[in-house]
Homo-oligomer: A and B are copies of this chain.
Amino acid sequence: MNTLKKHTEYLISKDQLLAHWQGHRALTRRVIEVFPEDQLFSFSIGGMRTFAQLVSELLAIAGPGVEGLATDVWRELDEADRSGNEKSRLLALWDQTTTKINQFWPQIPEERFQQKLVAFGQYEDKGYCTLLYFMDNEIHHRGQGYVYLRVLGIEPPAFWER
């Protein structure tokens, strides 16, 4: 293997992708934490979902999603909020998903990233697109949570800290 080959072997490694995802998830966790519990489950503007409902969507995607990337077995999306309107329970669900991602990540075959998948039985795309969608969708909805917090007069966590 020559020097050029060593440099061009990857632009972003699999470990780096995991760290990037979990870094975003750690930030989203801090956004959940900083929400007043009542507003987390009740506040919304513009006819949008509450932040807890948005988080339930993220939970529905991330855990079953990493399992799907690892096994290519996909269940239907289930975005039901299982927190019982308790912030501590929502955070516990978040942490369970964090563990699940770390457990399934090493089982994702490297070739999966360039394979066509049908995520959740309905979204056909290459593996890397599917993974980036999981992350992008989280960033998108978390950015909306930042607006909710600002409208509530609460300073959100710094975006650049992961």
Query: Which A residues contact B (CB, under 8 angstroms)?
Result: 7-14, 16-17, 20, 24, 45-48, 110-111, 113-114, 128-129, 132-133, 135-137, 139-144, 146-153, 159-160
Decide: B9 and A9 in contact? CB cutoff 8 A.
yes
Do A114 and B48 touch across chains, with their CB atoms under 8 A apart? no
| Pairs of residues from A and B, 3 with the lowest C-beta to C-beta distance, nearest first | A46-B150, A143-B143, A7-B111
Output the least CB separation between A49 and chain B (Å).
10
17 pairs from A and B in contact (CB 8 Å cutoff): A7-B110, A8-B110, A10-B10, A11-B12, A11-B17, A16-B128, A20-B132, A46-B149, A46-B150, A46-B151, A46-B153, A48-B147, A139-B139, A140-B143, A142-B143, A143-B144, A147-B147
Whole-angstrom CA separation of A137 from B139 in the bound complex: 9
Stoichiometry (number of copies): 2
Q: Could you tell me if B45 and A12 are in contact, using CB atoms closer than 8 angstroms?
A: no
- Give the distance in Å from the alpha carbon of A146 to the alpha carbon of B48 in the complex: 10
On chain B, the residues within 8 Å of A11 by CB distance are 10, 12-14, 17, 110, 113-114, 128
Cβ-defined contact, B113 with A147, below 8 A? no
Option from B7, B132, B140, B151 in Cβ contact (under 8 Å) with A114: B7
